[in-house]
Amino acid sequence: MPSLKTHTIDWWIVGPMVALMFFSTITMASLGSNDGYLLKQSIWALVALGVLFVTSNVDMSFLKKPWMMFSLYGFSNLILILVILLGKTAKGATSWFNLGGISFQPSDLVKIVLILIMAKYLSRRHVEIADIRHLIITGVYCFIPFFLVFLQPDFGSAIIFGCIWFGMMMVSGLSKKHLLLLTPVGLIVGTLLWGFVFKPYQKARIMNFLNPLADVRGTGYNAYQSMIAVGSGQVIGKGVGFGTQSRLNFLPEYQTDFIFAAFSEEWGFVGSILVLLCYAIIFWRIIKLSISGTTNFETLYALGIGIYFASHVIINIGMNIGILPVTGITLPFMSYGGSHLIAECLAIGILFSLSRYRRGVHRDDTTHEFLGA
């Protein structure tokens, strides 16, 4: 059945996205870094927005084809293997490819592939989701990239993969019985990770989260300085360019993991609410697009994107204000970096494309199952 071309760009999503990018560049400019963060981030923002607009105007429904889905999934895992073997190591993790001076983190794009394959699989099986085999099969789909990024080791991305899988299973109708089953499984996996996988610095961060003031000069330094920065902003902030925690280098990684703390110090509680409002609008519109989807795939993909963004926002802001451990997760549309920004805009672009080139539901569309039938 031919595609039915409808509306295209949802400016209620793009507007807040651009506002968040603007807040990010203003913060980087005010801190006067000599590392070229402002120029590089501005270029990445323009490239990412270009990706969004191009993708939204191309019929991306071909992504639903089983052969395309399987190819993307296989290629994504191959790339994750190659980055472990050939990638660049930075801050203890081999998570990047260095392409002519430009670093690229492939796990950002693999998150979108996981959302696509989960949406494809669950769109045909949500009515029989109570069957435990679907829990196992989707778990395998998630576990492979989860395990590969854990080997890098990139604990932050591994958490996001887990959040995407769990969130999409929940919105697909995961039964209470299986939810209860996941609790002891999670405890067992957590115990094994703590005993045999977690590195000393990762254990130290978790212990510091339980007692934030135990080692403020060591493992708890980042979280402690972040909380000081957020709190010192008070109601209206110190003013653009007057954030002492960032300018005096007390706050580490202010341009990436702790961009929210750097922004909050200068813009205060009012600015923090403005940032949260932008995210709230984006989530609202994504949910609205999911409700208006003509197929289960469109609905589940939109919800998966919402879960993806919400996981990043909740965990990043949570660690900035000291209620979650520091894990090195970026803040969507604000943290410095091109690969995550392009991946985020690509995800939104695909969402717009699926909404624009909607198709009527044809009986034949339900006859072809994906892996796991």
Q: Which one, of 361, 298, 356, lies nearest residue 115 by Cα?
A: 298
Listed range (54-58, 157-161, 205-209) with the worst mean pLDDT: 205-209
Question: What value does the mean pLDDT of the chain take?
Answer: 81
- Rounded average pLDDT over 283-294: 89
Max mean pLDDT among 206-210, 279-283, 351-355 falls in 279-283
The number of beta carbons lying within 10 Å of the beta carbon of residue 225 is 20
HSE at residue 221, side-chain half, CA atoms within 13 A, is: 10
Q: Quick one: 255 exposed, middle or buried, by C-beta within 10 A (0-12, 13-18, 19+)?
A: buried
Q: Does the pLDDT value for residue 275 go beyond 50?
A: yes
**2-27 pLDDT tens trace:** 444 555 788 899 999 999 999 988 88
Please name the helix (run of DSSP H) or strand (run of DSSP E) that holds residue 89, with its range, or none: strand 88-90
Q: Give helix then strand counts, H and E, for the chain.
A: 13, 5
DSSP category for residue 365: G
**122-162 pLDDT tens trace:** 887 656 666 777 788 888 898 899 888 888 778 888 889 99
